[in-house]
Structure 1
Amino acid sequence: MTGRPGIGKTTLCMKVFKSLDDVEGFVTLEVREKGRRIGFKLHDLKSGEELWLAKVGEGYPKVGKYVVFLESIDRFAEMLKGYSGNLVIVDEVGPMELKSERFVRAMEDLIESPKNLLVTVHYRSRHPLVERIKREFELYVIDEKNRDEVAREIIRRFRG
């Protein structure tokens, strides 16, 4: 699934998670302070564990104004290997997550596995992993008009 920033991809992932049993994975949450976005956290759907993905500041690696925390991404890459639910949600495969080679390898392994996946990808990325996901999976482009229907369709599909 893809779509412009702020369109509701994470919200859609949360609706799917709350509507189905046996779902694992993670979402990326915005962190705001005084109305301004200061960064993003990775949130494990089952355990509730949260780690900083990126935060405004100085350091390396950097995506835009955000310093990316590779150790956090690497931790979630390890968690990806252990997910065993009927559906695994990965929100998102984007420029920050792709800074981690461990994450890229874990995603490649997940794609090769028989697991059912719901993955959000950055809509403009040309990274080989994102291109592979766009090529090999059914791709929903989310907008204001279709996001609720897409959520219902995904839930129906995995409710069995």
Structure 2
Amino acid sequence: MYKHVFLTGPPGVGKTTLIQKSTEALKSSGIPIDGFYTEEVRQGGRRIGFDVVTLFGKRGTLSRVGNSSCGSHTGRQEYRVGQYIVDLPSFEQLVLPVLREANLGGSIGHKVFIIDEIGRMELFSHSFIQAVRQILDGSETTVLGTIPIPKGKPLGLVEEIRSRRDVKVFSVTKENRGHILKDIVTAVQNCRKYSL
């Protein structure tokens, strides 16, 4: 039996959209839900970076193109993925408290925790990796998350998740993204039943 559900697929295929739709469906069926997703930031029609947005509407910078105010001039170490500079302090400040809250379990019982995404940018944070492992190993939470498709050098935590026995991975494609939502939501609901 599975405990967690992850979506994988090429960039831009619609993983975040499916996560958002799944979140709405799960919420409307009364399931306690928390977490965050990654959102493109566009300016004048082109993508200039990514923000992290919690399910409660808090927003922080994850990355920006080039050196557009991501703190590279302050002498801090620069984390880069392609043309993007990752704003690690901003990411950790927003996401780590939310992850810690999930690890505490809280009094609301078994909840679903959204992690969109566990990718190259997020994995610069060792605290993030540690917190995600704790949630996956804990008993209080089912994770619904996204991971990138294997490309280039393997990403430790991503491959770990992909090979876990308690993780169900859906591959999102242009062909199936329009009708896979129900399967995802059902899989998450089944994970919760199994864990309760």
Shorter-chain TM-score bucket reads over 0.9
Q: Secondary structure of 1:26's partner?
A: strand
1:97-156 C-alpha deviation (Å, 9 max, x unpaired): 001111111111111112111110111251111011101111111001222332111223
- Alignment map for 1:1-160 (pairs within 5 Å): 1-21=7-27, 22-45=32-55, 47-58=56-67, 59=72, 60-75=78-93, 76-83=95-102, 84=105, 86-114=111-139, 115-124=141-150, 126-136=154-164, 137-159=167-189
Letter of the structure 1 residue corresponding to residue 148 of structure 2: H
Scaled by the length of structure 1, the TM-score of the pair is: 0.92
Give the distance between the partners of 1:17 and 1:147, measured in 2 at CA: 16
Change (3 A) 1:156 1:138: closer
Letter of the structure 2 residue corresponding to residue 15 of structure 1: K
Higher RCO structure, 1 or 2 (CA under 8 Å, sep 6+):
2
More off after superposition, 1-10 vs 80-89: 80-89
Change (3 A) 1:159 1:108: closer
Q: For structure 1, list consecutive stretches of 5 or more residues without a partner in the other structure.
A: none
- Number of matched residues? 159
Q: Does the 8 Å CA contact 1:87/1:118 hold for their aligned counterparts?
A: yes
Q: Does the 8 Å CA contact 2:144/2:188 hold for their aligned counterparts?
A: no
Letter of the structure 1 residue corresponding to residue 82 of structure 2: G
1:63-83 C-alpha deviation (Å, 9 max, x unpaired): 111110111221202311213
Q: Does the 8 Å CA contact 2:39/2:52 hold for their aligned counterparts?
A: yes
Letter of the structure 1 residue corresponding to residue 170 of structure 2: Y
How much identity, in percent, do the aligned residues show? 34
Give the distance between the partners of 1:62 and 1:23, measured in 2 at CA: 31
Query: Deviation of residue 159 (structure 1)?
Result: 4.8
Give the distance between the partners of 2:144 and 2:178, measured in 1 at CA: 15
Q: Secondary structure of 2:116's partner?
A: strand
Q: For structure 2, list consecutive stretches of 5 or more residues without a partner in the other structure.
A: 1-6, 73-77, 191-196
